[in-house]
Structure 1
Amino acid sequence: MHSLYEAYNELHGLAQELETPFDAPAVLVVGHQTDGKSALVEALMGFQFNHVGGGTKTRRPITLHMKYNPLCELPLCHLASSDVDPTLAQEKSLQEIQSFIEAENMRLERESNSNQFSAKEIIIKVEFKYCPNLTIIDTPGLIAPAPGRKNRALQDQARAVESLVRAKMQHREFIILCLEDCSDWSNATTRRVVMQIDPELKRTIIVSTKLDTKIPQFARASDVEVFLSPPACTLDGFILGGSPFFTSVPSGRVGTGHDSVYSSNEEFKQAIFIREMEDITSLEEKLGRSLSKQERSRIGVSKLRSFLEELLQKRYMDSVPMIIPLLEKEYCSTTRKLNEINKELSTLDEVKLKEKGRVFHDLFLTKLSLLLKGTVVAPPDKFGETLQNERINGGAFVGTDGLQFPHKLIPNAGMRLYGGAQYHRAMAEFRFMVGGIKCPPITREEIVNACGVEDIHDGTNYSRTACVIAVAKARDTFEPFLHQLGCRLLHILKRLLPISIYLLQKEGEYLSGHEVFLRCMEDLVSTTRYVTWSLHNKNRAGLRQFLDSFGSTEQSAVLSNSLSMPLCQESSFVSVANEKHDTKPRTDVKLSQVASGVDSSSSVQTTETRLADLLDNTLWNRRLAPSSERIVYALVQQIFHGIREYFLASAELKFNCFLLMPVVDKLPALLREDLESAFEGDLDNVFDITNLRHSLSQQKSDTEIEMKRIKKLKEKFKLIHEQFISHHVMSSLSLAPSA
C-alpha cells in the first residue's frame, strides 16, 4: 500500500501543477472559523504545525500529503510551493512552514486587487510515526459576518471564502469533511454551504466538533440519544458513513515555553486518547447505559481517522483503473506538445523564418479581408461595440445645438458590431444625422449684412445675398460633422486593425487619415465657394415649387404686405421691368392687381411667380421688403439643401475611396514591400531569434521533465494495477475448491 499512497500523492501534485482534473481522491475539510477545524486537522495528523484560534489563519488551502512512517520520531516535512518545482520539494522545519504560511497571508492581505484569498494550494508532504496515510485539504474557515454597513469588508471576505470553498467542493473525487459546532442538528451552518454542491450529502462526512463542551449541556438522556443518532430527515440526506462523527481535541499547545501545555507530540497524542475515553464515559453516564459498538465507532478522533483511512484506501484502489487512461491521454498530449516545440526549433533558420513571415502576411490579409467583408469568427461580446459604446469611444455626431440624435433610432444600434458592419453603421448614422439637418434660422440682420455695397452701384443682388448666407451656414453646420466622421471611422479601423494605423499615417502615394479629411474639406470648400444652379437643380421651376409652400400658409401676410408697399418700391419694380420688354405687361398686371386689393389665391400666386421671374433676371433693390426677405430665405434654404446633398455624397465617397479602399487594395502591397525590406536587414530585429530560441529551449526542457514525470507515474499506476489483478487472481485460486 506504500506505493499506492506515494503514487496518489504524486498524482495530486501533478494535477495541481498542470491544472489537470485527475480523479485523485482526497479529504476536503470544510468548516467555519469557530468550528475547531485546524485543531481537528492537527489531531488527525498527530502533531501541531500551525497556529490555532479565531480569525483567518490561512488564506490559501493547505494540502497535507500524510504518510505513516514508524521510523520518523519527528515530523519530516517537505514544502512544494509555486516558487519550487514540486518534484524537488524542499525539506522545511515546522517553524519555516509556519513562517511561509504567515508570509502568504500577509501578501494576500496587502494585495488590494485580489479578494485577499487564493485557490492555489500550499502543498506539504509529511512523514511521521503518528501520521495516517491520508491526503487532507484544509480550506480557509468560512465566515459568518454580522449584518450592517460597518461590516461590509468582512461580508466581502465571507463571500470570497465561500466562493473558494464551493469551487473546491466541485471536485467529485473529494470526500467532504463537514464540520458542525452545534448541539441541535436542525441548525445547519456549514451544511448550508456544503449542500449547495452535494445536496444529498452522498460524499459528505458530518463531524460534530467540541463534543466535550456539549455533553454537560444535555439535561435528559433522550436529548443525547437524538444527538448521537439524528433521524435522516433532520440531516436532509443520507450522509457518508450513515451517521455523524463526534470529536474532541484538548486545548493547549506543544512546546517548551511557559504557556505550553504539552512538552512533546507524544503527550499531545496521549491527551487526545484520554479525552476520547472521557467523552465515552460522560456519554454513558448521561444515557444511563453503555454505548453500542456502532455508537462507539463514531466517537473520537481515532475512529474518524480509521474510517477516513479505510475509505480513502478503497477509493484509491477503485480509482486506479480510471487513472491509467487519463495519464495515457496526458502523456500523448505532452508528447505532441514536445514535437511541436522541436518542430518550432528546427524552423529557426533564415529561409524558413522568412517563409513563415510571408505566410503570416497572407494569413493576416485574409483575416483583414474577412473582417471588412463581414464575418462571425470573432465573438461579438468580446470584440463588438454597440452604437452607444462606439459613441463613447470614437466620438458622437453632435449638432450645432449640442444635442445627439437618440441612438435607438439608428438601425442595429443595440448590436455589438465590428469591422465592415460597424463601418457601415457609422456611415448610415452620418447620412441619417446630416440628411435630416434643416437650414438654420436667418435673421433680417444677416440678410442686410450680406447685402453689402457693390463696387459699381448701390443696388442689391439678392442672388448673391442668398449665396453668401447659404455658404456661411453650410460651412458652420457641416464642417463639425466632417471632423466627427473622420474620428469615428478611424476609431473603428484602429480598434480592430492596429496594423492599419501604419497605412493611415503613410506619406506620399498612400493617403493617410489626415489627407482623407483634407480631401473632404476641399470638397466642402469648393462646394461653398461657387454656387452653380445646375449643380443644385435650383432653376426657376424648382424655385417656384419651393415658393408655393409659402403661398399656401402666408397668403394673407403676402397680400397685406403687398397692399402697404410704398409707391417708390413699385416704381422701382416697374423701372426694372421696363428694361425687359417681354416682362412689362405681366409685371404691370401683377402690380395693378396688388394695388387694387384683389384678394384671390391666383393673384397671390401670380405675384410670387413674377417675383421669381424678376429674381431670375437679377433684381436690384436696396430696400428690403417682406417679400424680398422671403425670397432670400427661400433661396438660402434651397442652396443649403443642395450643398447638404452634395456634401453627403462626396464625404461618403471620399472616405470610402481614400480611407477604406486603401486598406483593401494597397495594404497587401505595402506590407509585402515592408516585409521584404525588413528581411534584407538583421533578422534578429524582426523575429528576436535569440530570445525565441531561449524561450523554446526552456519550454522544451520543462516539457521533457513533465513528460518523464507523467511516464513514471503512468508506469507506477500500471504496476499497482497489475499487482491488484495478480492478488485478486491468487485470492480466487486459494478460495476455489480443490479437485
Structure 2
Amino acid sequence: LIGGLCDLLPLLHLPPSSMANSISNTYLTTPTKTPSSKRNKQSQSQMQSLSQNPVSSESRSRFEAYNRLQAAAVAFGEKLPIPEIVAIGGQSDGKSSLLEALLGFRFNVREVEMGTRRPLILQMVHDLSALEPRCRFQDEDSEEYGSPIVSATAVADVIRSRTEALLKKTKTAVSPKPIVMRAEYAHCPNLTIIDTPGFVLKAKKGEPETTPEEILSMVKTLASPPHRILLFLQQSSVEWCSSLWLDAVREIDSSFRRTIVVVSKFDNRLKEFSDRGEVDRYLSASGYLGENTRPYFVALPKDRSTVSNEEFRRQIAQVDTDVVKHLREGVKGGFDEEKFRSYVGFGSLRDFLESELQKRYKEAAPATLALLEQRCSEVTDDMLRMDTKIQATSDVAHLRKAAMLYTASISNHVGALIDGAANPAPEQWGKTTEEERGESGIGSWPGVSVDIKPPNAVLKLYGGAAFERVIHEFRCAAYSIECPPVSREKVANILLAHAGRGGGRGVTEASAEIARTAARSWLAPLLDTACDRLAFVLG
C-alpha cells in the first residue's frame, strides 16, 4: 500500500490554480443530440482543447491521484482524509436517479438500491475516448480492478451479488464495507461520490427490525469525518418543517458548512407557484437551512422506459430547459434569476459538484502530501529493520538466541493463560464444553451413559479456566459410574497369597491390591480421556 502511495506523491505535487473558475466548460455542458458529423468535429475539438489546457490536465492528474489513493485506502483498510462526497437521503428521494444522471447512462441502480445494504463508491472519470461507458469493479480484497463491464444489467447484478455474498458471510443486515466502481465515459464529469443506502422507516420483509437504525448509524459514521462533503437529497413535496431526515443531517453537520442540499423532483412543485414572491421565498428556503445555505433544485426525466444513453442525456437537458422556462414564463413576474438561476437545474448542480471537489482536492493536497511522506518514512524504517533481521539469519548464534527468546515468550504466554487472563477476549477465543468435545474429536466419557454437564459448560473459556473445568468434568464422570464387582476368585487369590506371610498387614495389603486392580479397570479409560481433553485445552 505505502509503496503505491509513494508513487502518487509526484501526481499531487501540482502547481496551485483556481480550479473552481477554470474547469473546462467543453465537457461540463449537458450533451445534446447533434448530427454525427457535427458531433465528431466537436469531439475532436474538445480533445484538442483538453490536451492544450494545462489546468484541465492538472485537475485530471490530481483527480486520478486521489482516485488511486481512495482505491488503496479501501483495499487495505487505511483511513486517509481524502475529500469525498457522501450522498445521503431517504430511499424515495431520487438519489438513485441523480447518480444515473451524473453518470450519463442508466444501470438500473434504482432496483439495486431497494436491495443493497452496502455503500457504493462511484469513481466517475471523464474520458473523451470512451464513447460507451466502461465500468470496472475493484476487487473485494485488493486495489486491482476487474475487466470492463459494458452491459448495464451486468453492473446491477455485480452490485447485488457482492452485497448478498458479504452479508451472508458476515451474517449482518448492513455492512459499511464499500463496493468501488470506476466508470469511464465521455459524458460523465470527473467526480467521486459515495452512495449510501437510503434511509427507511421500516425494515423490509425478511430483514431484522433493527435495519433502519443500523442504516442510520452507518450513514452517520460515513458522513461524520470532516473531510467529507454531504450531498443531502429531499424531494420537493416534503416541507422543511416536516422533513424526516433533516434532523439527522443536523446531528452530523449542525451549521451545514459542508452540506450541499438538493431538492429533488422539483418539477412536482412548479404548478404550486403563482407569483414571483412565492417562488423566491421557496427557493431561498429561509428559516430552515440558515442564511448561508442555498439548496439546488433538480428535476430529472420521469420516463423509466428503455432509451439510448444519448436520448437519456437529451431528456435530462430538456427537463432543465423546461423547468427554467416555466419559472420564467409560467410564474407571474418570473423569479430572481440573478440570485437563484445558478441553483436551478441538474446542470448547475453537476458543474458545482465537480468544481467544488476539485477545489477541495487542491486545498487538501498539502496535508495529504505530508501524511503520505510520513507513511513512506515509516515504511522505509520498517524495511531497514527487516533488512537487518534478514541479514542476521546467516548468523547461527543469532538464530539460536532468537529461537530461545521466542520459545521463552511462548512459555510465558502459556503460563499467563493457565494462571488466568482476560486478554485475548475469551468471547472470541474461548470454547464451550460442547465446542471442546466437538473440535477435539473426543466425544462422551467411556463407560458413562449420562450426559455430563459441568458447571459453566456454556461459557467460552480457555487456559487455566478451561483446564479446571475439564478436571471438574472428569470428577463428575468418575462419580457417575459404579465400581465393578470383584469376583470371589480374585479376592481369594490375593488373600491366600498374603496369608502365608504372617502378620496383620496381609489383609490390608490384599485389600489395597484389590482396590488398585479394580481402579485400573474402570478409571484408566476415564483418565486417558481426561488427558486427551486437557492436552487439547493446553494446545
Q: TM-score range by the shorter chain?
A: 0.5 to 0.7
Equivalent residue, structure 2, for 1:274? 318
Corresponding residue SS for 1:195: helix
Distance 1:208 1:383, change over 3 A: same
Distance 1:317 1:373, change over 3 A: same
Report the TM-score when normalising by structure 2: 0.63
Structure 2 residue 298 is matched with structure 1 residue 247: yes
Q: Which amino acid aligns with 2:295?
A: P
Q: Percent identity?
A: 27
Q: Which amino acid aligns with 2:137?
A: L
Equivalent residue, structure 2, for 1:4? 62
Distance 1:209 1:379, change over 3 A: same
CA contact (8 A) 1:31 1:179 kept: yes
User: Residue deviations 1:143-201, cap 9 Å, x none?
Assistant: 1228xxx9794642212221221111022211100001144221222322222211221
Corresponding residue SS for 1:86: coil
User: What is the alpha-carbon distance in structure 2 between the residues aligned to residue 91 and residue 340 of structure 1?
Assistant: 41
Q: Which amino acid aligns with 1:359?
A: L
User: What is the alpha-carbon distance in structure 1 between the residues aligned to residue 216 and residue 124 of structure 2?
Assistant: 26
Equivalent residue, structure 2, for 1:165? 219
Structure 2 residue 201 is matched with structure 1 residue 127: no
| Structure 2 counterpart of 1:230, from 273, 277, 285 | 285
User: Residue deviations 1:628-671, cap 9 Å, x none?
Assistant: xxxxxxxxxxxxxxxxxxxxxxxxxxxxxxxxxxxxxxxxxxxx
Q: Which amino acid aligns with 1:324?
A: L
User: What is the alpha-carbon distance in structure 2 between the residues aligned to residue 46 and residue 313 of structure 1?
Assistant: 20
Equivalent residue, structure 1, for 2:78? 20
CA contact (8 A) 1:69 1:128 kept: yes
User: What is the alpha-carbon distance in structure 2 between the residues aligned to residue 71 and residue 246 of structure 1?
Assistant: 32
User: Residue deviations 1:673-697, cap 9 Å, x none?
Assistant: xxxxxxxxxxxxx9xxxxxxxxxxx
Structure 2 residue 344 is matched with structure 1 residue 299: yes
Structural RMSD (CA): 4.0
Equivalent residue, structure 2, for 1:484? none
Residue ranges of structure 1 left out of the alignment (5+ in a row): 254-258, 385-391, 394-486, 506-511, 519-685, 687-739
CA contact (8 A) 1:76 1:91 kept: yes
User: What is the alpha-carbon distance in structure 1 between the residues aligned to residue 62 and residue 122 of structure 2?
Assistant: 16
Q: CA deviation at 1:381?
A: 10
Structure 2 residue 191 is matched with structure 1 residue 137: no
User: What is the alpha-carbon distance in structure 1 between the residues aligned to residue 301 and residue 455 of structure 2?
Assistant: 72
Q: Which amino acid aligns with 2:300?
A: V
User: What is the alpha-carbon distance in structure 2 between the residues aligned to residue 363 and residue 130 of structure 1?
Assistant: 61
Equivalent residue, structure 1, for 2:56? none
Q: CA deviation at 1:229?
A: 0.7
User: Residue deviations 1:199-223, cap 9 Å, x none?
Assistant: 2211100000000112123466544
Equivalent residue, structure 1, for 2:229? 175
Corresponding residue SS for 2:252: coil
Structure 2 residue 266 is matched with structure 1 residue 215: no
User: Residue deviations 1:311-356, cap 9 Å, x none?
Assistant: 1111111111111111112223333444555566667788766544
- Answer with 1 or 2: which has the greater Rg: 1
Corresponding residue SS for 2:87: strand
CA contact (8 A) 2:124 2:192 kept: yes
Report the TM-score when normalising by structure 1: 0.47
User: What is the alpha-carbon distance in structure 2 between the residues aligned to residue 353 and residue 18 of structure 1?
Assistant: 32
Equivalent residue, structure 2, for 1:495? 462
Structure 2 residue 404 is matched with structure 1 residue 358: yes
Equivalent residue, structure 2, for 1:325? 370
Q: Which amino acid aligns with 1:360?
A: Y
* Relative contact order, higher structure (CA 8 A, sep 6+): 2
CA contact (8 A) 1:60 1:117 kept: yes
Equivalent residue, structure 1, for 2:18? none
User: What is the alpha-carbon distance in structure 1 between the residues aligned to residue 466 and residue 402 of structure 2?
Assistant: 18
CA contact (8 A) 1:63 1:122 kept: yes
| Structure 2 counterpart of 1:312, from 341, 353, 357 | 357
User: Residue deviations 1:422-451, cap 9 Å, x none?
Assistant: xxxxxxxxxxxxxxxxxxxxxxxxxxxxxx
User: What is the alpha-carbon distance in structure 2 between the residues aligned to residue 489 and residue 159 of structure 1?
Assistant: 34
CA contact (8 A) 1:244 1:298 kept: yes
Task: Name whichever structure is richer in helix by fraction.
Answer: 1
Corresponding residue SS for 2:106: coil
User: What is the alpha-carbon distance in structure 2 between the residues aligned to residue 132 and residue 39 of structure 1?
Assistant: 16
User: What is the alpha-carbon distance in structure 1 between the residues aligned to residue 137 and residue 356 of structure 2?
Assistant: 26
Structure 2 residue 97 is matched with structure 1 residue 39: yes
**1:582-661 alignment to 2 at 5 Å?**
none
CA contact (8 A) 1:202 1:238 kept: no
Structure 2 residue 254 is matched with structure 1 residue 203: no
Residue ranges of structure 2 left out of the alignment (5+ in a row): 1-58, 434-453, 479-538
CA contact (8 A) 1:42 1:48 kept: yes
Alignment coverage as a number of residue pairs: 394
User: Residue deviations 1:99-138, cap 9 Å, x none?
Assistant: 2112124435656x53332212211222222111111111
Corresponding residue SS for 2:240: coil
Equivalent residue, structure 1, for 2:491? none
User: What is the alpha-carbon distance in structure 1 between the residues aligned to residue 458 and residue 393 of structure 2?
Assistant: 37
User: What is the alpha-carbon distance in structure 1 between the residues aligned to residue 473 and residue 384 of structure 2?
Assistant: 46
Equivalent residue, structure 1, for 2:161? 103
User: Residue deviations 1:281-310, cap 9 Å, x none?
Assistant: 222322422442221100111000111111
